Amino acid sequence: MISQNEVIELIQADLPDAKVDILDKTGMSDHFIIRVVSPSFEGFNLLDRHRRVMKSLESAMRDGRLHAAEIQTAVS
């Protein structure tokens, strides 16, 4: 399990200008819907934006704290 604040910290460590909103999809703190809005996504296609967010979450995915993430991204 991972807290929502920990997820936000992981993402903002790589994307400091990001606004991150999270919804715990199952109530078990391991499946989240994550919306990331960042001006640094400018010029990136949707797949590259998602890859960038998933790279931020890689350590939590690898050690099992985070099982699944539904990613939504936008440029502000």
In percent, how much of the chain has pLDDT > 90? 91
4-74 folds as GMP Synthetase; Chain A, domain 3 (3.30.300)
DSSP 3-state assignment of 34?
Answer: strand
74 pLDDT above the threshold of 90: yes
Tell me the C-alpha distance between 31 and 29, whole Å. 6
What values do phi and psi take at 35, rounded to 5? -110, 125
Average pLDDT over residues 13-30: 94
* Domain boundaries along the sequence of the chain: 4-74
